[in-house]
Amino acid sequence: MSEVLIMPAEEKTLTYKQTEKIAYENNKLHKRLCRLVGQAIGDFNMIEDGDKVMVCLSGGKDSYGLLDILLTLRERAPINFDIIAVNLDQKQPNFPAHVLPEYLTKLGVPFHIENQDTYSIVKRVIPEGKTTCSLCSRLRRGILYRVADELGATKIALGHHRDDILETFFLNMFFGGKLKGMPAKLQSDDGKHIVIRPLAYVKEVDMERYAEVKGFPIIPCDLCGSQENLQRKQIKAMLRDWEKKTPGRVENVFAALSTVAPSHLMDRKLFDFVGLQATGVASVDGDIAFDEEPCSTGSSNIISFQSLD
Ligand code: SF4
């Protein structure tokens, strides 16, 4: 699965030159995805020699893409690790149960389908019209942890990408009063597993395009009848608007998640403000609160506070 030349279906009707250009762009996309996923894996030490990675496959574009890229990277990796794809069939009405087994069998990837009717539980417990996602996700999480145990998986890989991380960050800030995102690597709630998000550096638009050119057999995600969370929708729209009107802003926010200065925030659990004493030693990257232009650090990429509307 080394150099993959991805051709979209519509390519047949194009001229030779157009076809070549599309193939070139698709190849570039594939390379970019592999590079970004490899980088995230390396930065966070997500996968180690001898790991058994359980890739959670929902049937959506992101998890298909994640599995596909991990399979490519495994071929090139200097370490050995196993991959097992897992799908939880939640018994939603009209769920096409044959799609994933057929796809995975054709791909030659070991897989496990876990059948658990969480759909009925959620419908029974949550009153009509109320959001079902929170209970549904909790149930799903518990089941996936148990399955990881049973399969002897050492890592659980999820298909969240950069935009999911940013949306969660703003959701927590705007509606939860917390500076908290979605980590690229974390310990599971039960303390027994390491959950990884190898797509952490990847933009959603790239995953959309990749799914299109690879022709993944996408399973619609609205089978449960639940509406997309309204607050998440608002955040998504806000980010798309920023991306359009202020190129670079979203990139900067994402970069900021990896460049935290606890001494310049206000969380007393992260920094000992109470015990802070002058050391007599000057700080190069010190407080610029009194500067006229708070963000004029010389980089044209940095947005000044005034331009944040
Ligand atoms: S959209 Fe449906 S399946 Fe997905 S988490 Fe919400 S309730 Fe569960």
Residue 140 Cα to ligand 1 middle (Å): 10
Instruction: State residue 107's pLDDT score.
Output: 96
In angstroms, the Cα distances linking 259 to 57, 163, 227, 256, 304 are: 31, 18, 35, 5, 17
Token pair, residue 16, equals 């030779």
Residue 221 Cα to ligand 1 middle (Å): 8
Residue 87 Cα to ligand 1 middle (Å): 14
Cβ 219 vs Cβ 58: under 8 Å = yes
Q: Which atom of ligand 1 is nearest to the CA of 136?
A: 8
In angstroms, the Cα distances linking 63 to 57, 69, 158, 215, 249 are: 5, 10, 7, 13, 27
Antiparallel, parallel or unpaired: β 194-196 and 185-187: antiparallel
55 φ, ψ (degrees, to nearest 5): -95, 120
Amino acid code (one letter) for 194: I
CA angle at residue 194 from 190 to 195, to 5 degrees? 95
The residue nearest atom 4 of ligand 1, judged by CA position, is 133
pLDDT tens series, the chain, 309 aa: 444 455 555 556 788 888 899 999 999 999 999 999 999 999 999 999 999 999 999 999 999 999 999 999 999 999 999 999 999 999 999 999 999 999 999 999 999 999 999 999 998 998 887 878 889 989 999 999 999 999 999 999 999 999 999 999 999 999 999 999 999 999 988 889 999 999 999 999 999 999 999 999 999 887 777 777 789 999 999 999 999 999 999 999 999 999 999 999 999 999 999 999 999 988 776 666 556 555 544 444 433 333 333
Residue 226 Cα to ligand 1 middle (Å): 6
Around ligand 1, the residues with Cβ closer than 6 Å are: 132-133, 136-137, 224, 226
Instruction: State residue 303's pLDDT score.
Output: 38
Q: Which atom of ligand 1 is nearest to the CA of 90?
A: 3
Residue 122 Cα to ligand 1 middle (Å): 9
Q: Which atom of ligand 1 is nearest to the CA of 118?
A: 8
Please give the Cα distance from 68 to 214 (Å, whole number): 9
Residue 118 Cα to ligand 1 middle (Å): 10
Instruction: State residue 298's pLDDT score.
Output: 41
The residue nearest atom 6 of ligand 1, judged by CA position, is 133
